[in-house]
């Protein structure tokens, strides 16, 4: 029985175990069952890789040698599965002419498939893109923090808390009032340009964000970014000991604030979502937000207090949880209140 060598394509008579007369490589034919298993695994692997190349054999497209088939997949496809023009020309030359019409049909089918990746509109400078979608807000069994699914539109969020240097630009432009000064207020301290601006009221935080063409984040937006896809207490899970790596709290801060972005970011590239300073949000505080809409909730229509999130440098790890909340009158401030800004993403912004 004639058999083609799988290495060089030489057609020769072989036994169950033999060697090619041209290249000298040994091989084993194997049983019918082993062949079925091998070809099935090859089809699954190639299909999972994304280029659908197994269809070429399934639809009757044959290659002269196994080497020719491997070369087709190496130079005829890109990692995403779409054909590049130069590689296609080279690969087509390896295929007999009678099969080229079938190849064109398969390529049209391939190009009609949805892309694996879409373009993303670049985020504004120093802001992270937060994709649209649902997340689980709150904590089960915790009074005042009802666990429920919330859906948000896409938005951007500052990657770190607002620094003294950034706030000073607004003051210099005459658009913001200087924060309260005091022993632990960073604005008037020397060499504190990269520290979070603190001692700022909600009105001061809101005024800066408006001046910058942004806004304060809602509670839901802050929590989604703080979780960064996690359902645990923190963005990194439930182990509070790991907070040493990600934030400033009572056990590593010496009860004082520290420069922004000086700990590790979360999985979405955002810093200081746990600890350092409490951060103002846009929302009026309500004890339980269960009655609020599940689509883009924005707090109560009015109230006495504004909600803050994130915890601070003087708080224990549990207080810095993603779901935890605090509240304060909007005209008040202290050494552990700061903020960051958010911005709604345009309608044509895309996510992976």
Nearest-angstrom CA–CA distance, 235 and 230: 5
**Exposure letters 6-28 (e unless 16+ CB within 10 A, then b):** ebebeeeebeeebebeeeeeeee
Name the segment(s) of the chain with CATH classification 3.90.1580.10: 127-344
Residues in the chain: 352
Looking at the chain, list the stretches that DSSP marks H as alpha helix, in order from N- to C-terminal side: 32-49, 54-58, 66-75, 85-92, 100-112, 164-172, 202-211, 219-227, 243-246
Cβ–Cβ < 8 Å for 352, 127: no
pLDDT of residue 27: 53
pLDDT of residue 256: 96
Q: How far is CA 133 from the centre of its chain?
A: 12
Place of tokens 């846009």: 282
Q: What angle do CA 69, 73, 75 make, to 5 degrees?
A: 110
pLDDT of residue 18: 54
Give me the CATH topology for the region 127-344: 3.90.1580
Q: Could you list the pLDDT tens digit for every one of the 352 residues in the chain?
A: 455 666 566 665 444 445 666 666 655 555 566 667 777 777 665 655 544 443 344 334 444 455 555 454 444 443 333 334 555 555 566 555 656 666 565 555 444 433 333 334 567 889 999 999 999 999 987 777 889 999 999 999 999 999 999 999 999 999 999 998 888 999 999 899 999 999 999 999 999 999 999 999 999 999 999 999 999 999 999 999 999 999 999 999 999 999 999 999 999 999 999 999 999 999 999 988 888 899 999 988 899 999 999 999 999 999 999 999 999 999 999 999 999 999 999 866 644 3
pLDDT of residue 14: 44
């Amino acid at each position: 029985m004639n058999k083609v060598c799988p290495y060089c394509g030489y057609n020769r008579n072989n036994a169950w175990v033999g060697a090619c007369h041209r290249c000298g490589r040994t091989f084993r034919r194997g049983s019918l069952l082993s062949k079925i298993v091998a070809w099935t695994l090859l089809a699954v692997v190639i299909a999972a890789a994304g280029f659908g190349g197994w269809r070429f054999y399934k639809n009757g497209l044959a290659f002269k040698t196994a080497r020719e088939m491997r070369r087709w997949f190496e130079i005829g496809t890109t990692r995403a599965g779409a054909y590049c023009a130069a590689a296609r020309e080279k690969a087509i030359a390896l295929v007999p002419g009678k099969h080229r019409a079938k190849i064109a049909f398969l390529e049209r089918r391939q190009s009609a498939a949805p892309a694996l990746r879409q373009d993303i509109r670049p985020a504004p400078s120093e802001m992270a893109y937060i994709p649209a979608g649902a997340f689980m807000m709150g904590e089960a069994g915790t009074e005042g923090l009802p666990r429920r699914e919330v859906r948000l539109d896409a938005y951007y969020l500052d990657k770190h808390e607002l620094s003294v240097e950034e706030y000073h630009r607004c003051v210099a432009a005459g658009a913001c009032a200087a924060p309260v000064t005091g022993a632990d207020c960073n604005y008037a301290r020397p060499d504190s340009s990269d520290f979070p601006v603190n001692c700022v009221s909600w009105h001061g935080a809101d005024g800066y964000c408006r001046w910058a063409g942004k806004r304060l984040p809602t509670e839901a937006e802050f929590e989604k970014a703080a979780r960064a896809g996690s359902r645990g207490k923190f963005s990194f899970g439930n182990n509070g000991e790991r907070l040493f790596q990600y934030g400033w709290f009572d056990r590593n801060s010496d009860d004082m604030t520290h420069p922004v972005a000086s700990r590790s970011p979360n999985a979405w590239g955002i810093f200081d979502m746990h600890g350092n300073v409490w951060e103002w949000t846009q929302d009026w505080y309500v004890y339980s937000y269960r009655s609020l809409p599940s689509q883009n909730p924005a707090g109560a229509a009015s109230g006495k207090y504004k909600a803050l999130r994130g915890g601070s440098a003087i708080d224990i790890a549990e207080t810095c949880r993603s779901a935890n909340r605090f509240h304060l009158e909007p005209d008040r401030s202290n050494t552990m209140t700061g903020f960051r800004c958010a911005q709604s993403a345009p309608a044509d912004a895309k996510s992976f």
